[in-house]
Structures are given as structure tokens and as C-alpha cells.
Amino acid sequence: MITIKNVTKTYAAKQGAVKAVDNVNIDINDGEIFGVIGYSGAGKSTLIRMLNGLEIPTDGSIKVAGREISHIKGANLRKARQEISMIFQHFNLLWSRTVIDNIAFPLEIAGVPKKKRMQRVKELISLVGLDGRENAYPSQLSGGQKQRVGIARALANNPKVLLCDEATSALDPQTTDSILELLVDINKRLGLTIVLITHEMHVIRKICHRVAVMEGGNIVETGPVLQVFKNPKQQITKKFVQQVTEPEETKDTIEHLLSGYPNGQVIQLTFVGDGAEQPLITNLIRQFPLTVNILQGKISQTQNGSYGTLFIHLDGEEKDIQKALEYISSQEVGVEVISNG
Amino acid sequence: MDDFLAEVKWDKLIEATQESIYMTTISVLATFILGMILGLLLFLTNKGSLWQNRPVNFVIAAFVNIFRSIPFIILIVLLIPFTKALVGSMLGANAALPALIIGAAPFYARMVEIALREIDKGVIEAAQSMGANHFQIIFKVLIPESLPALISGLTVTAISLVSFTAMAGVIGAGGLGHFAYLEGFQRNRPMVTLVATIAILILVFIIQLIGDYFTKRTDKR
């Protein structure tokens, strides 16, 4: 659906040329939810804006839905943009128009006759769950409702691709989740390809199939979300993964635990996919003469399976502990010894 | 009091008021159209905007700044040859119109530009991302989204135009200014001047009320 090939974007700045995007290559499949994560200034915003021609790459080519976006202009570009919708962090609704008229706006642009327009708007309003708010102005809506209008507006012309530019960054966690669920629902129901950029790993974890990690204009790591969670290679990726797998206070807690359990070992277990659903601890206690103490744990759901971390404390004979660790490893569960008591 | 009021020639006052309303209405309409065009051009040719064009922007900005800076009374005098060529006379309400419009349109153009700059850039970008052409962006985004500011700007401009008409009246254009000067000041009838002033004030209040009403009604923020 989308092919990004050797794309570079350079800006002229006072201190010389700045490379916002540096030789990026990505292939995004039909019907996929693809996430790009990075801190601000990583170039992800520039990258997504090149997908609908709001920015023109300095070098390389971008193909979206069979069209060479990076090289078309004028009416052709405008036509192509009707198939590549975008939703925004700050919603960018027209405050002078009601919900209905905001959603009808892209249809007006596309020249859809009024009767058809109103019919389509009605469908969209129930699709995004805004029934009863049809005649409200944006100023009368909550953030989540505004983004629903944004999504309905983006879907109006039956696009093939939906670009999400930090679409949930201005929303509270609960509203974020409801918007993400809506996006997954749309992706499944309409088979829409979704590309999103974010700085929140939570968003990637929750809805993306694949993820690319961006730093300094480069894609430093890419792969299926679960795999990246399981085996993050770059330092920056590890940091992002920690955002969701470890509560902020984990480090302090572990240090506290280490001093609290001078004997035995504190172990971090990492469960991925099916591994997360086995009765591992039960088996451990039954098979080895060990004391098992559960310290802290968390399981996160991703689009391709679950991912979890568990901190346990094992106490007993040294050789039994070693055997237990071997057993755990054989169960496709990641093991990391935190301390050696 | 009655004696004083008897000095006022009511039929002349009504005629003068009508002339003032006529001059204000026509000049407001023309100022609106010309100011909108100039203001839109100023905004659109600015750096980073849709029709970014430095030379055009420079020329329009220079025109606007020059005509906005000339005191109105001097502008009337400077425009005498132009007005004579256009209207054929320097007397009467129509003769005041060119100076009124040329004096007020640049003023309004700046207000239009400021109003357009207040629009969130993201909204323009959203329209672009939907495939809107420039015409659609102007008429479906720029103008509707800045409407309250465009109306309140026009209200302010209309009120200055009322005072401009009074000034134009002094040099022969008719209207309430002419009436106050000729019938009141020159014949030493302060009551006439006062009544003419009240008539102008009423005119200004009505314009302000109408302007406020529409500004409020169009503002859904």
C-alpha cells in the first residue's frame, strides 16, 4: 500500500542544512496498522507529512496506493489526497461549522451532491458514535468527541490510507483508549491501512501490528510489535518498551526488594505470546523444592499477543535454583537474574 | 429651548442625514470588497502562505501603508484631480466616495490580514490534506473561520467612515458634517451643530449595535 524508498528531507536552516529525515525505507502492507515512534524532533512528523504531500521529499520516492505522491502536483495531488486522509493532534476542526458540516466538508471538496452528502454524514456519525451531537459546534465537544469528528471527517471519502499525526497525544488516558479502540475497529471493519506516529509506546502496544523506531531522522529499528517488545535491540527502543512494561517506580521497588531478600535470587521473567498464559509458577513450585515469592508483575496486551514481565524471588538450594532457571528457559520464557543474594 | 430648536431646519437635517447614510453605505460596501481583496492578497502572498510572493506582497503592503498614513483631509485634497476625472465634480455626496474608499480600504485590508492570521494554520493544513483547492480554502475556510473578526473590523471601519464623511462634508460633499459646519458653525447656531452631532452619534451607535450583533452571532468558538 505504501512504499517509502530512500527518502531524505533536508531543511535549510541558519546553521546549514538540517536532515529531518535521513534515507528512510519502509514498506507498509495493505490493511496494516503501522506505528512510528520517536521523541519530538526525531523526524516522524516530517515523515508522515510526506505521505500526503504536505511536505515534499528532497530525495527518494514515496508511493501510496499506487500513486507517486512525491512527484505529483496540482489536481492530481488533490485527487490523491482524497484517498489519504489525516487526523491531527489538535483535531483541526472548523469551529464555524457544526459536527454535521465538519464531516460534510471533505465531501463538499470532493463535489459530492448535497443529498448524498447528508446520507454519508449520517452513516459516519453512527460509525464513530456521535449520535445526538450532530448539531453541536466543536467548542461544545470534549476532546474525545472532537477527535471522533476528525476521524469521521477523515473517513468521509472512503480513503485507502489513514494517517494519524499524534492523534491521541492531546487526550487523557481513558479517552485515548476509546479512540484507539475506534481506530482498531475501523481498521478491521473497513480494511483501512493506518499509519500513526506517536511518542507513546502505549499507543503502539495497543493497536499497531508493526512498529518503526525513529531517532535523528533514521529508522533505527523495525519489526512486528511483539517481537520488538520481546527483543528490543537499540537503547532507545528499550526505553520505549520500558514505558509500558515497567511501572515507573519499578527500579526503586527492585532496589528495595534486593535489600529485603538477602538470600536466594530475584529474577525477572519475560513472557511473550502464549508463554504468558502457562501456569509456570505452579509447575515451578511442584517440580522444585523452592520457595517462590511473587514480587511484582504486569501483563500488556498487543495486537499480536500478550507480553508480560514478572519479578519473583527464589529461595532454596543453589543447585535447585540453577535447575529451576534451566526449566524456565526451556519454557520459552525470558529469564534475567537481577541479583545474586 | 424651543427657540433654539426652532433654529434647526428639520427638512435640511433629514436630507443631510440621508446623504451621510448614503455616503457611509456605499463607501462601506466598496471598502469591504476592496479591503477583502487587498487583505486576502496581503495574507496569501505572505511568507509561508499559499501564494507566497515577495514582490507582490511588497507592492501591496507599500500601497496599504502609504494610503493608511495620509491624513484623510489631505487625502481628499490630493485626490481632487482623480475625483474630478472620475465623478466630474468636487461637490455632492458622490464626489466624496473615491476619497472615502481609498482612505478606508487600506485600513480595512490590514484588519482583514490580521483576522486571517488568527486562523489556526492546522485548519488550513487539514483542508489541504483533504484535497481542497485554493478557491475552496479561501471561501470555505479562510473567510468563514475569520468571519467574526472580519465583521468587527468592518464595524470599526464603518464608524471611522462616518467621521470621514463628516470631514468630507466640510469641503463640500454634503451630509451631516457639511450641515453642522455650514448651518451651525458658520451661522453661529451652536444648537444646530449639537443636533447634527447627535444625529452622527445615533448613526454610530446603530452601526456598532448591528456590528456587535453579527459578530456575536457568527462566533461559535
- For A248-337, CATH number? 3.30.70.260
What's the confidence (pLDDT) of residue A314?
A: 86
What's the confidence (pLDDT) of residue A34?
A: 96
Q: What is the mean pLDDT of chain A?
A: 89
C-alpha cell recorded at residue A294: 511473587
Domain boundaries along the sequence of chain B:
2-218
What's the confidence (pLDDT) of residue A341?
A: 42
CATH topology of domain B2-218: MetI-like fold (1.10.3720)
Which of chain A's residues have a Cβ under 8 Å away from the Cβ of B145?
94-96
What's the confidence (pLDDT) of residue A249?
A: 66
Which of chain B's residues have a Cβ under 8 Å away from the Cβ of A12?
none
**Does the pLDDT of residue B86 top 60, yes or no?**
yes
pTM: 0.85
A90 at B interface, C-beta within 8 A? yes
**Does the pLDDT of residue B102 top 80, yes or no?**
yes
A101: left (phi over 0), alpha (psi -120 to 50) or beta: alpha
A105 at B interface, C-beta within 8 A? yes
What's the confidence (pLDDT) of residue B87?
A: 83
Q: Which helix (H) or strand (E) holds A126?
A: helix A114-127
Laid out side by side, the sheet with A33-37 consists of A84-88, A161-165, A193-198, A33-37, A210-215, A218-224
Among the listed residues A87, A114, A97, A77, the one whose alpha carbon sits nearest the alpha carbon of residue B132: A77
Least-confidence region, from A74-83, B34-43, B184-193? B184-193
Mean pLDDT value across residues A275-286: 78
Could you report the predicted ipTM of this complex, rounded to two decimals? 0.86
Domain A2-244, CATH number (from 2.60.40.10, 3.40.50.300, 1.10.150.20, 3.40.190.10):
3.40.50.300
Sign of CA dihedral B103, B105, B106, B108: positive
More confident residue, A310 or A220: A220
At residue A247 the predicted structure's pLDDT band, cuts being 50, 70 and 90, is low
Domain boundaries along the sequence of chain A:
2-244, 248-337
* A294-306 pLDDT, tens digit each: 887 877 778 777 7
Please check whether residue A225 is in contact with residue A204, taking contact to mean a CB–CB distance below 8 angstroms: yes
B70 at A interface, C-beta within 8 A? no
Which of chain B's residues have a Cβ under 8 Å away from the Cβ of A95?
145, 220-221
The 3-state secondary structure of A201-242, one letter per residue: HHHHHHHCCEEEEEECCEEEEEEEHHHHHHCCCCHHHHHHHH
Candidates B130, B151, B217, B219: best to mutate against A (most CBs of A within 10 A) is: B130
Least-confidence region, from A146-155, A244-253, B85-94, B99-108? A244-253
Cβ–Cβ of B131/A106 closer than 8 Å?
yes
A330 at B interface, C-beta within 8 A? no
